[in-house]
Structure 1
Amino acid sequence: MSSVWDDLDLLLDSPSSLTVNSTVRGTIKEKPGFNPGEDAAALRKAIEGIGTTEKTLIDILTQRSNAQRQLVCKAYQDATGRTLCDDLEGDTRGDLEGILVALITPPAKFDCQEFIGAIKGAGTTESVLIELFASRSNHQIKAMCDAYLAETGRALIHDLKSEVSGDFEKTLLILAEGKRVESTNVDVAKAKEDAKILYEAGEKKWGTDESKFIDILCHRSVPQLRQTLVEYKSLSGKTLQESIEREMSGRLEDILVAIVKCVKSVPAYLAERLYKSMKGAGTTESTLTRIIVGRSEVDLQDIKAEYKKLFGTSLYSDIESETSGDFRQTLLKICGEDGK
């Protein structure tokens, strides 16, 4: 079965969200003529009036950049002596509360809170850990680790160790160090050599040598890995993803496939996560919130484009049909209608 993930033709020239640190592909931009005091007053009125005016909260918080929202939070606290976060938690409920609080949280702190949520409670949510570490750049991972240290006083890597085990742990821990090579230079000979190492460690071997896969996929730069994916296919006739799916199982397979997908296209990987979060049994609101808010100033435009390519429907219309109420309104406002 051929899929979008088998197509390597355009791979080497396409930009990557893992290396490009820019906000131009986001859906939310800075609001011109922004006045934090005015916004804070409007939010205060919406919250303190009889019955919260959700529309005001949604309109203001979805139409400002995260940096601007931080200034609104400060103005709000200066004016009321209370934090906007506490007031939102006191006045809104459920998924709406979750997404509004996410919007006013700085991105690194938001990632950190998602990480804490994934390792807390009975059973670790591996799929969230995989998404966080496979789809984030070195810079984002370092920022998440700093936020974790500030929040808990402990090293993220230390706490991660106690939650996971085996090769899955090894892979996550290497990613959590944020040490992926950043160079944009591609060494074709090295890519051929890595492809051969991977082929011999997997398809050609009785029993797979997982450590080779982990080492190469977690350390090489994105451009270098893209070249390696191309070389692997010409050497073995299969894509590396197909080989991993054949040779491995469980959580290690999941994380290595996620890394390969993110090397190709983080937006396509996240589009797939969004689709599954809506089309599986019961919508996973936390995944919708994490990706839509978390990528709103990174690459949500690209995620929308990939979603359409992968699933033939628009992200906007799927959110419209799979969610409801003020939570739906907030997601749709962030997503933006352009070319539904």
Structure 2
Amino acid sequence: MASVWDELDLLLDSPSSFTTTTGERGTIKDKAGFNAGEDAVALRKAIEGIGTTEKTLIDILTHRSSSQRQLICKAYQDATGRNLVDDLEGDTHGNFEDLLVALVTPPGLYDCQEVTRAMKGAGTTDSTLIEIFASRSNKQIKALSEAYLAETERKVTHDLKSEISGQYATALLALAEGNRDETTTVDTEKAKEDAKTLYDAGEKKWGTDESKFIDILCNRSIPQLRQTLVEYKNISGKTLQESIEGEMSGLLEELLVAIVKCVKNIPAYLAERLFKSMKGVGTDENTLNRIMVSRSEIDLLDIRAEFKKLFGYSLQSAIESDVGGSHGDCLKMICGGDD
């Protein structure tokens, strides 16, 4: 299971999901010959008819891109004077409703809502915060932050501060600023220097200087960090992930490991998250919905490939055996096929 995370040979030449342009490796693309007005009418009929025709809702919403769905929402509002989200909420229920609403929500707002949900109530769902902030590009974090400010009139970092603490908070807040360096050129000398700093701050030292790990992992560019991971293994003989797992504990460890995994391979990290969301007793539908929807136009094809590689069976078959009814049908449509 761990082996995928130890291989660094191909790392420097592999593409990264942080820089994927929308659509290349997604399962959902723009529909050709798209007509928002026609779709709005069909959705309205499906919702207003006797009993909702779930099949129509699924067919339309999983075969249009996110930007096309926004045009459908507008056409729906113009035609009915009502909000499509409200009508979906009034007419469907449970996890299926959550999934359809997620599909018609703009990506930045959806991330914002998921972060809000993770902070709500007793206790914080840190695994959600870690997944979102470790796997999103600056651009995605900016969109999330703008949506959050528009919804609450507060900065997301302001509200996060009251929910989290310690070095974990320092690291998560650094990510939530969305200011990671985006230089594409790699400075090999700097990577060697950073690798030595990390080695000296962890493996070589009695007690760990976490601040060095946070500073380097939360701020350097992805290509630079990839080079640093290679240099680290040369110096230390083990991977940075192994060192973090050996030196740290709790939420800071979880966050820094997630960052390292995302630097290497976001699709493999998210494939693991999907696997865990369906494994064992009860399904974590929130995580399942969130990853399937938020990656459907970015790298879901790659997530499918990594899932098969890691677990020996397809993502489609995992969903099939774990989720039933309209919710399962809709997820399978987003998944877009078997491997």
Could you list the runs of 4 or more consecutive aligned residues of structure 1 that deviate by over 4 angstroms after TM superposition? Answer: none
The residue number in structure 1 matching 2:62 is 62
Shift of the alpha carbon at 1:179?
1.0
Residues 235-289 of structure 1: per-residue CA shift (max 9 Å, x gap): 1100000000000000000000000000001111000000000013311011010
* Match runs of 1:1-340 below 5 Å: 2-337=2-337, 339-340=338-339
Segments of 5+ residues of structure 2 without an aligned counterpart are none
1:19–1:222 CA contact under 8 A, matched in 2 = no
**TM-score normalised by the chain length of structure 1:** 0.98
- What is the RMSD of the two structures over their aligned residues, measured on CA atoms? 0.9
Residues 61-107 of structure 1: per-residue CA shift (max 9 Å, x gap): 00000111111111111111110100000000000000000000000
Segments of 5+ residues of structure 1 without an aligned counterpart are none
The residue identity in structure 2 corresponding to 1:30 is D
* Higher deviation after alignment, 137-146 or 12-21: 12-21
Query: 2:84 & 2:196 partners in 1: Cα distance?
Result: 55
Query: 1:21 & 1:77 partners in 2: Cα distance?
Result: 30
Query: 1:30 & 1:43 partners in 2: Cα distance?
Result: 18
Shift of the alpha carbon at 1:3?
1.6
1:19–1:182 CA contact under 8 A, matched in 2 = no
**Percentage identity across paired residues of the two chains:** 72
Query: 1:40 & 1:92 partners in 2: Cα distance?
Result: 17
The residue identity in structure 2 corresponding to 1:291 is I
The residue identity in structure 2 corresponding to 1:38 is E
Residues 218-251 of structure 1: per-residue CA shift (max 9 Å, x gap): 0000000000000000111000000000000000
Query: 2:193 & 2:22 partners in 1: Cα distance?
Result: 32
Query: 2:30 & 2:278 partners in 1: Cα distance?
Result: 29
Residues 135-190 of structure 1: per-residue CA shift (max 9 Å, x gap): 00000001100000011111111111011000000001000011111001111111
The residue identity in structure 2 corresponding to 1:20 is T
SS in 2 for 1:207: coil
Aligned pair count? 339
Shift of the alpha carbon at 1:22?
3.1
